[in-house]
Amino acid sequence: MKKSFIIVSIIFSLVILGCTLPIDTSQKRNEEPPAKTESDDSEEKEKLKEKIAELEKEKLEEKIDNLEKTVEEQKKQLSRKNVPKPAPKTKTKRAPKGYVRVNSPGDGWLALRTAPNSKTGRLIMKIPHGTLLNVYGCTGVRPSGKLRGRWCKTVYANYEGWVFDYYLVK
């Protein structure tokens, strides 16, 4: 009884530990696939890369086809609609005699200063692009940095000051 108990306990412990006893010894031990070499791995990697590239190419071609269809549909819709032609560009009206227009589209404003100098003249206010100004008089031609022009005296919004005429048009 002691021997049978030991045999049963060994079998039980093997089952619990997940070990199995070979039941059929006639099975071949060489059923495992042959060991892979580095060249086999690199060939498989190359094949996988080619497949991935092919799938990506197919996806891109499909997206291009969809975009082309969308563009064609939009063209058809636009051709069906009676799209008005844009109005011809109109010239801006000339300023009335004695007046000039502020032309400062870059930043959208022209500085009205306390003195005819950008360094010593304090900024009084910003005159918006396109505003009409009445100029009372201008100084002689003087360079101002890279720009050549004159300082002109004017009044804007009840403030008297100086503007640089490089940014003024008649």
- Specify the pTM: 0.44
Q: Determine if residue 108 is left, alpha or beta; phi over 0 gives left, psi from -120 to 50 gives alpha, anything else beta.
A: left
pLDDT 10s per residue in the chain (170 long)? Answer: 666 667 767 776 666 666 555 555 555 555 666 666 667 788 888 999 999 999 999 999 999 999 999 998 888 877 766 656 655 655 566 767 778 999 988 888 999 999 988 889 999 999 999 899 999 888 887 766 778 888 999 999 999 999 998 899 88
- Within a 13 Å sphere around the CA of 1, how many CA atoms are in the beta-carbon half? 0
Sequence ranges of the domains in the chain: 99-169
Pick the CATH number of 99-169 from 3.40.50.720, 3.10.20.520, 2.40.50.140, 2.30.30.40: 2.30.30.40
